Chains A and B, each alone.
Chain A
Amino acid sequence: MTNPVPEYPLVEVRHVSKHFGEGETRVDALRDVSLEVHPGHVVALLGPSGSGKTTLLNVIGCILEPSTGWLSLDGEVVYDGRWLRSDLRKLRLEKVGFIFQFHNLLPFLNSTDNVAVVLSLAGFDTAESKRRAVELLDYLEVGHRKDAMPAKLSGGEAQRVAIARALANRPRIILADEPTAALDSQRAGIVMDLLRKVATEQQAAILAVTHDEKIFDRFDHIFHLRDGRLDGNEGSGA
């Protein structure tokens, strides 16, 4: 890797625990998890079903409040025993892009508008939003499907539109929950290449949950989760 040495990690998780329920029904989904993801890195989150991967992603995306711990995004401490910002949705809009296992495109908007909606939420006017949306679709090689409705897209196309949406606002943190699970290995490879391209060109941090052994070699680092705990780390990261 030729990435410049970053000054600070884009994602920094320290001693985060999360449990659901109390007493008999208590589930410890995360136990004392600490990790960092640096700009330009693509890292994987691996673990059996129920090990806490989605929970961790939701915590980092400020969708789920941790039980204890400390979280910093892009140099800003957002959680320290409590949320330090009240406008978490605005925080997400500014800093975080999500890619879902199922594309979750808005069914009533065509490809362009599914991407443009994020830009118009961020304050761009309609024309500029659409222009940038089409640009992004081209970048992700689905420009030819810019007027298609989600129901008419193939799985791979829909996932690339969803990635375009996640990238639209140029977030520096991209969280992906099994982004390639619904794709064949060739399509999965293309998606991974794209994520790599974004990480390199935009100095973004990408954290992807995956089961997909075929693509393990494409990550800078792999975090293993087991019963909510991080195992010994591999690779070149943190």
Chain B
Amino acid sequence: MNLAFRDIRHSLGRFLLTCFGLSLLLGVVLSMIGIYRGLVEDALTLVRAPAADVWVVESGTRGPFAESSRIPGDTREAIARLQGVSAAGSVTYQSIEAPYVGQKLRLYVVGYEPGRPGGPDRIVAGRPIGRAHYEMVADKRSGLALGDRLALGRNSFTVVGLTDGQVSSGGDPVIYITLLDSQELQFELAPPAARREVARGTGPGNTDTINAVIARVSPNAAPESVAEAARRWKHLAATTQAGQETILTRSVVERARKQIGLFTGLLLIVSAVIIALILYTMTMDKLREIATLKLIGAPDRTIIGLIVQQALAMGVIGFGFGALLIATIKDYFPRRVVLLPEDGLALAAAVILVCVVASGLGVRLALKIDPATALGG
């Protein structure tokens, strides 16, 4: 006869309500972890999309995402000639705001050379950019649809293709346009003074600048040696794909990671305290029954079992509800929420540990109860 189960069944409504409350709390913890994973994932989609091996940027910078980087437009040809490089493409990156159905749409614009590395990796609807000008591939998250027209700078662009899940590390949806269009856009959006200097040809700028060159390396060449070779130009810096991903996670995501990590930690502590309190009250409510059990000869094992089993049931059901809840609503979050099985398992293990430790409080109380308290009026 399982006393824990019988007691739960007897006050099922109350038990389920408690579990539901706990599940909301654990759901929040789980979504915090998911938001963090989503943040990392989002930050990395852009750097992973071109399937690059080596990134070449301005020397002294950790561009193009963590810091701004400007290099001459002819860099691509120089890199393409390096030994082991199988393909190279120039790319630009910039954040813009564009008016769209009465609202300002924040977008992250990637300029690339069609036919060379740097473009979208997978198009889910429509086609890639086919013409040299005024076509774009947009991410679905922007809300844009095939055939939509969007004014960027002085020109109007047509959406010809859609990607899914391409966002900048800030969460802005990505659009792809041709390199030439993006350079024009960069020039148009530059501050007037800089623009005058460029037009006069006196300033440091030049319209033919790009932010990075992406290189792919043939299978028998090492990316690191290509990066090494690129660094020989004094005005260039180069990192491998792995290095670029590290820079991104370190610099762009690090603070968010600490922030969310700390918050998740706090939430876990709060959950632990709440679980402990719930279990303690559950035991307090059963003092008389526990005294009676002792009086009729139940061993400590039975009484500990009653409390610990209920604690575990509460933890497991609370976590299950919470996980289900977040899995159901995760796609309605404005930014990506990534639920990894290993995160779920880790949290489940933490919750179970907390339940067992917290039930220790209840158990201590229960073992101290004097059986004589069952006798009195």
Binding site for B on A (CB under 8 A): 54, 57-58, 61, 63-64, 89-90, 92-94, 98, 100-102, 104, 106-109, 113, 116-118, 120-122, 126, 129, 149, 165, 169, 177
Contacts and interface: CB of A to CB of B under 8 A. Distances in A.
Given A106-B3, A107-B289, 12 more contacts: A54-B376, A63-B295, A89-B298, A92-B295, A104-B288, A108-B10, A109-B3, A109-B6, A116-B1, A121-B302, A122-B297, A149-B10
B6 to A, nearest CB: 5
B297 A90 contact: yes
A160 to B, nearest CB: 16
Contact of B374 (A104, A118, A122): A104
A121 B6 contact: no
Interface of B: 1, 3, 6-7, 9-11, 288-289, 292-299, 302, 370-372, 374-377
A100 B297 contact: no
A90 B295 CA distance: 10
Nearest to B7: A108
Nearest to A126: B1
Contact of B296 (A58, A92, A107): A92
Contacts of B11: 108
B289 A106 contact: yes
Contact of A102 (B3, B6, B377): B377
Given A108-B6, A108-B9, A108-B11, A118 B296 contact: yes
Contacts of A101: 375, 377
Contacts of A108: 3, 6-7, 9-11, 289
A151 B239 CA distance: 75
25 contacts: A57-B375, A58-B375, A64-B372, A89-B294, A89-B371, A90-B297, A92-B297, A98-B295, A100-B375, A101-B377, A104-B295, A104-B374, A107-B10, A108-B289, A109-B1, A109-B3, A109-B6, A113-B6, A116-B1, A117-B1, A117-B298, A118-B296, A118-B297, A126-B1, A165-B296
A63 B294 CA distance: 10
Contacts of A107: 10, 289
Contact of A117 (B3, B9, B370): B3
A15 to B, nearest CB: 22
B147 to A, nearest CB: 65
